[in-house]
Amino acid sequence: MIDRSPSSLVNAVSRQLQDVMDPELTFLSVIDMGILRDVRFENGHIVCVITPTYSGCPATEVISKDVLKAARVIDSDAEVEVVLSPAWTTDWISSEAREKMTANGIAPPEGSSHDKAFLTGDGHIIPCPLCKSKETKLISPFGSTPCKASFTCNACFEPFEHFKCF
């Protein structure tokens, strides 16, 4: 039997949400990405607070449903609250997630979200996540999703994506 105290429920749901993956970066959890902002007990049930990577993110509905489904394994009355302010920032991505991005061929965001020049990577050296060369070239400021830019490596000739700073 699960301890139904508020703190136990929060802890159990938080553990459960570690397995909710980002639908676009399926090797990263919503926790890794900093999308899950809070899990709290409020008005007799769990509330999971998420902030999408940007306000028009098409994955927000899928993430909300996945978080709700996972949370309701522990608390059948759980709900999801989508919060847009403060806006999500790549500063919230965990260091482990950045390592996983590199291991999966995606250049993680570099620098701070406060440096808006990092939005596309244009004019900045974005190292190749495959061979680590700094001889790379921006192909398009928009990749397979609006969160990524497309690059190519001039050393290994492989294309790769860069997760942009927001």
DSSP at 66? H
Q: Computed from CA positions of residues 50, 55, 58, 61, in that sequence, does the dihedral angle turn out positive or negative?
A: positive
Contacts of 132 (CB under 8 A, 6+ apart): none
Element containing residue 5 per DSSP (H, E): none
Query: CB–CB of 50/81 below 8 Å?
Result: yes
pLDDT over threshold 80, residue 116: no
Q: Which CATH code, of 3.30.300.130, 3.30.499.10, 3.30.70.250, 3.40.350.10, is assigned to 6-82?
A: 3.30.300.130
Which amino acid is present at 55?
S
Better-predicted residue by pLDDT, 117 or 105: 105
pLDDT at 11 over 90: yes
pLDDT in tens, 61-73: 999 999 999 999 9
The vertex-99 CA angle with 134 and 71, nearest 5°, equals 145
Distance CA 11, CA 21 (A): 18
Position 121 scores a pLDDT of 47
pLDDT value for 120:
47
The string of pLDDT tens digits covering residues 33-83 is: 999 999 999 999 999 999 998 888 888 999 999 999 999 999 999 999 999
Sketch the domain layout of the chain as residue ranges. 6-82, 92-163
Q: Give the pair of three-digit tokens for residue 87.
A: 């806006």
